[in-house]
């Protein structure tokens, strides 16, 4: 569960970061965006090394579960909320092609001599999306005592998405991002609920297996919400 949660959460953010890097690379060349990506990844690795160790070694376990569990619930609910609204037709589905086109337009409006523009855009995109990957990896791994497993899940997700980007060399429009965010939102919210309750002293009847039951409750509630707020498709 730790590996899966870290992998899925990291994959979602990696797809968004990859869209930005591809837009920069295909528009201005690959040198500057690749440098920006490397710098961003190094900075993120330092954050994981520092904060991961501090969290695991300095914070009492119950306090850690309560704080991180609550944060994960809030983080998961944000994704789940948007996924429900998109599934119900209240807000538009996220469009990677549109995001790609917007980035290309921004880059093309600058001088070709300003290579730092491509570097900065790639650095900003990878770092900001990567911060959410760091949060997921540290929170999931630190709370369950499996930081190395969570790091492995995050790294595998980023490697897989990067490999896909090298193969297709275009926006990953076929990736069902809303479905992925829906699933990750339920997983993170369920894990957060489990850990936050444990941090408050609750004892789950089936221990970690209870997460499956919590996930089923959240999924059922979300489908009811989609049915209640679904907007009719215009004819």
Residue-wise pLDDT for 188-205, tens only, equals 888 889 888 988 988 888
> Alpha-carbon distance 73 to 54, whole Å?
22
Q: How confident is the model at residue 223 (pLDDT cuts 50, 70, 90)?
A: very high
Whether this model's pTM surpasses 0.75 = no
pLDDT of residue 232: 61
pLDDT for 65 beyond 60? yes
Contacts 24+ apart (CB under 8 A), 128-132: 129/13, 129/14, 129/16, 129/17, 129/20, 130/13, 130/17, 130/40, 130/41, 130/44, 131/44, 131/47, 132/9, 132/13
pLDDT of residue 224: 93
**Helix (H, G, I), strand (E, B), or coil: what is residue 95?**
coil
Q: Identify which of 28, 200, 228, 226 has the alpha carbon closest to the alpha carbon of residue 111.
A: 28
Q: Are 38 and 187 in contact (CB under 8 A)?
A: no
pLDDT of residue 104: 61
pLDDT of residue 59: 66
> Alpha-carbon distance 133 to 151, whole Å?
10
Task: Provide CB contacts within 8 A for 182, sequence distance 6+.
Answer: 79, 80, 83, 84, 87, 222
**Average pLDDT estimate for 95-100:** 58
More confident residue, 177 or 15: 15
């Amino acid at each position: 569960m730790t590996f899966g949660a870290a992998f899925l959460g990291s994959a979602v953010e990696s797809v968004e970061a990859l869209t930005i890097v591809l837009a920069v690379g295909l528009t201005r060349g690959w040198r500057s965006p690749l440098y920006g990506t490397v710098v961003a990844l190094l900075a993120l690795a330092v954050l994981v090394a520092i904060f991961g160790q501090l969290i695991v070694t300095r914070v009492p376990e119950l306090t850690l579960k309560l704080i991180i569990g609550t944060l994960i619930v809030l983080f998961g609910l944000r994704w789940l909320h948007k996924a429900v609204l998109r599934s119900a037709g209240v807000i538009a589905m996220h469009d990677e092609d549109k995001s790609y086109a917007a980035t290309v337009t921004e880059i093309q409006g600058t001088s070709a001599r300003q290579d730092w523009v491509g570097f900065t855009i790639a650095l900003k995109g990878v770092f900001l999306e990567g911060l959410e990957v760091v949060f997921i990896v540290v929170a999931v791994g630190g709370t369950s005592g499996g930081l190395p497993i969570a790091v492995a899940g995050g790294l595998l997700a980023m490697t897989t998405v990067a490999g896909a980007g090298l193969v297709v060399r275009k926006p990953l429009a076929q990736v069902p991002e809303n479905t992925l965010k829906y699933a990750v939102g339920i997983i993170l919210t369920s894990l957060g609920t489990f850990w936050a309750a444990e941090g408050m002293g609750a004892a789950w009847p089936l221990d970690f297996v209870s997460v499956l039951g919590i996930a089923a409750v959240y999924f059922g509630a979300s489908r009811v919400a989609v049915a209640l707020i679904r907007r009719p498709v215009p004819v």
